[in-house]
A and B are shown apart, each in its own frame.
Chain A
Amino acid sequence: MFTKYSSYHFFFIIVLLIAALCNLIIGSVHIPANEVLAILSNNFSGKASWEYIIMEYRLPKLVIACLVGMSLSVAGMMMQTLFQNPMAEPYVLGVSSGASLGVALCILGKSLFAPWLQVYFSGSIAVVVFALGGSILTMFVILGISQRIKQIATLLIVGLMFSSFTAAFVNVLAYFSTAEELKKFTFWNLGSLGNISWQQIGFITPLLLITLAGSFLLNKPLNALLMGEGYAKSMGIHIQKVKFLIILVTCMLVAVCTAFVGPIAFLGLAVPHITRMVYKTTNHFQLFIGNIILGALILVLCDIICQLPGEQFILPVNAVTSILGAPLVIYLILRNRA
Chain B
Amino acid sequence: MTISCQKKIVKSVGNAANNIEFANGLEIYNYEGFTVMKITKPWPDAAKTYTYVCGKNTHKIPDSLQQHPFIKVPVENLVATSTTHVSSLIALNEAEKLIGFPNLDYVSSEKVRQMISEGKIMELSDKESLNFEKTIDLEPQIIIGLSMDSETSKFNQFEKAGIPVVYNADWVETSPLGKAEWIKFFGVLLDQQQNANSYFKTIVTEYEQAKLLVKQKTQKPTVLSGAIFQDVWYVPQGDSWMAQFINDAGGNYLWSNSKGTGSLSLSFETVFEKAMNADVWIGPGEFYTFEQMIAANKHYGNFKSFKNKKIYSYSIKKGPTGGLIFYEDASNRPDLVLKDLISIFHPEVLPDYQPAFIEVLK
For residue B116, CB closer than 8 A to chain A, the reply is no
Q: Interface on chain B toward A: helix, strand, loop, or mixed SS?
A: mixed
Chain B, residues 277-307, CB within 8 Å of chain A (1/0): the string is 0000000001000001001111100100000
CB of A112, distance to nearest CB on chain B (Å): 15
Q: Which of B264, B292, B298, B302 has the most CB of A within 10 A?
A: B298
For residue B360, CB closer than 8 A to chain A, the reply is no
Q: Which B residues touch A162, using CB under 8 A?
A: none
Q: Which B residues touch A184, using CB under 8 A?
A: 229-230
Please tell me the number of chain B residues within 8 Å of chain A, measured between CB atoms: 24
Q: Is the CB of B272 within 8 A of A52?
A: yes
Q: Which A residues touch B272, using CB under 8 A?
A: 29, 49, 52-53, 57
Chain A, residues 47-74, CB within 8 Å of chain B (1/0): the string is 1111011001100000000000000000
For residue A154, CB closer than 8 A to chain B, the reply is no
Name the contact of B127 in the complex, choosing from A53, A175, A197, A313 (C-beta under 8 A).
A175
For residue B268, CB closer than 8 A to chain A, the reply is yes
Q: Which of A28, A52, A187 has the most CB of B within 10 A?
A: A28
For residue B45, CB closer than 8 A to chain A, the reply is no
For residue A7, CB closer than 8 A to chain B, the reply is no
Q: Is the CB of A124 within 8 A of B297?
A: yes
Name the contact of A124 in the complex, choosing from B231, B265, B269, B296 (C-beta under 8 A).
B296
For residue B114, CB closer than 8 A to chain A, the reply is no
Name the contact of B267 in the complex, choosing from A124, A175, A180, A313 (C-beta under 8 A).
A313
Please tell me the number of chain A residues within 8 Å of chain B, measured between CB atoms: 32
CB of B273, distance to nearest CB on chain A (Å): 5
For residue A147, CB closer than 8 A to chain B, the reply is no
Q: Which B residues touch A326, using CB under 8 A?
A: none
CB of A208, distance to nearest CB on chain B (Å): 21
Chain B, residues 251-282, CB within 8 Å of chain A (1/0): the string is 00000000000001111111011001000000
For residue B232, CB closer than 8 A to chain A, the reply is yes
Q: Is the CB of A195 within 8 A of B267?
A: no
Q: Is the CB of B270 within 8 A of A28?
A: yes
Name the contact of B295 in the complex, choosing from A53, A124, A180 (C-beta under 8 A).
A124
Q: Is the CB of B292 within 8 A of A311?
A: no
Q: Is the CB of A29 within 8 A of B269?
A: yes
Complex interface residues of chain A between 177 and 196 (CB less than 8 A to chain B): 180, 183-184, 187-188, 190, 192, 194-195
Least CB separation from A53: chain B residue? B269
For residue A125, CB closer than 8 A to chain B, the reply is yes
The CA-CA distance from A56 to B303 in the complex, in Å, is 13
Q: Is the CB of B230 within 8 A of A53?
A: no
Given A122-B296, A195-B230: A28 touches B276 (CB 8 Å cut-off): no
The CA-CA distance from A125 to B291 in the complex, in Å, is 13
Given A52-B276, A180-B286: A187 touches B229 (CB 8 Å cut-off): yes
Sample of 11 A–B contacts (CB below 8 Å): A28-B267, A28-B268, A52-B272, A122-B292, A125-B295, A176-B127, A180-B286, A187-B229, A187-B230, A195-B268, A197-B298
- A interface residues, Cβ below 8 angstroms from B: 27-29, 47-50, 52-53, 56-57, 122-125, 175-176, 180, 183-184, 187-188, 190, 192, 194-195, 197, 311-314, 316
- B interface residues, Cβ below 8 angstroms from A: 127, 228-232, 264-270, 272-273, 276, 286, 292, 295-299, 302
